[in-house]
Structure 1
């Protein structure tokens, strides 16, 4: 049960990484080349691949914590901390990519950053939304993932008999509640409302950013 609870958010991590890659693809190639610190085509392989890899390692560590023997459980805790620590690193790296993209976009393509030709925003609607809304949703959910990773590292570092592990209220407050809030945002505002088909023939300031709804 603990393994399923621990690994389920990894799928949500993957959705966030893929959505950002999809968002970048809606712009002209010149935007991604000048605003991203790495190639746009490498975003999904790097971040999704690392999530899958360390999720597998994390699963192995958690499985060991369920076995008899304090020595094996301690090894399992260390493996889990190692895997979650690297997940923290890659989420932090992803947030750095978001920050650099935003900073360079505002500097190099100020008109594109301020561009907003979408209809009036509606909750649970089907109308397109501004692409900036999607960007800030991705940044906000990434911050939640980062917070959750910190909690999990501390929890497993204290061991199976640690204070956090022995008191279930911390699981609800520092893990379940933040992730529930992050997922609820996607229920209210489906990100694909702000994504359009890639447009390679127009200049960056002329790209239609929010005309396609895939709800």
Structure 2
């Protein structure tokens, strides 16, 4: 593997932590793949790819434990762990559009449902490209390339936060409107009597929780890269596992437990074509 004279890590990456999270992400990703096949929920394809990215990323950190100077292993763990949450977000964006159609609440969305997914996923793609480019530049093997790369990543994280914030505002506005002025479909598809509703409201709650976890992780990454290579956050591995690995694992498990297909697959057969948009 390629090696660099530039110090890539200020610590020796933990082998135990990397193995544990690689295994945990592998298990939840396999379950997501089974759920996706069973429910034909193609909108969860990006989510599954994000899980695969996590497995590869933590696998690469296992390699880095034995070879801290490998630029290939460093690039793999950096890029795959950075990009996985963007793919989670893409699936969550698509879920909101499907929920709105599911309850026939298109007129309550301040962003036309027909372009909602395109707008948010488009922002996701821009963020993806910026962070991927920044991660690639960082592995150039010099201090200057690391600095340039980290600021490109900061730009990508800012784009992600802006679009994610707009998504949450859009979802909350829709949720507020439909609770005040419910459609016939939304009332028919409500299930009362549980703390976490097993209906379209529960799907939205799961999206909110997942979004907050991704936002926390993105803010952590923003602080990490703004501080830079010698910053307190980047030089202490524990932050990666508390604010990235654990948060993203919770996102995946939450969506295992509250998979949108459990509700959205109850749609009428005549709606299936619309839901693919």
Structure 1 equivalent of residue 128 of structure 2: 55
**What is the CA distance between 1:49 and its match in structure 2?**
1.4
**What is the CA distance between 1:116 and its match in structure 2?**
4.8
Does structure 2 conserve the Cα–Cα contact (< 8 Å) formed by 1:26 and 1:199?
no
Residue 172 in structure 1 maps to residue 246 in structure 2? no
CA change 1:200–1:187 in 2 (3 A) is closer
Q: State the structure with bigger RCO (CA 8 A, min sep 6), 1 or 2.
A: 1
Cα distance between partner residues in 2 of 1:180 and 1:100:
28
Cα distance between partner residues in 2 of 1:101 and 1:149:
24
The runs of at least 4 aligned residues of structure 1 exceeding 6 Å deviation read none
149, 152, 175: which is aligned to 2:221? 152
Cα distance between partner residues in 2 of 1:58 and 1:70:
18
5+ long unaligned stretches in structure 1? 202-215
Cα distance between partner residues in 1 of 2:268 and 2:189:
17
Residue 197 in structure 1 maps to residue 271 in structure 2? no
- Give TM-score scaled by structure 2 length: 0.64
Does structure 2 conserve the Cα–Cα contact (< 8 Å) formed by 1:58 and 1:80?
yes
79, 90, 98: which is aligned to 1:22? 98
Number of aligned residue pairs:
193
- Give TM-score scaled by structure 1 length: 0.81
5+ long unaligned stretches in structure 2? 1-76, 272-277
Matches within 5 A, 1:44-123: 44-109=117-182, 115-116=188-189, 118=191
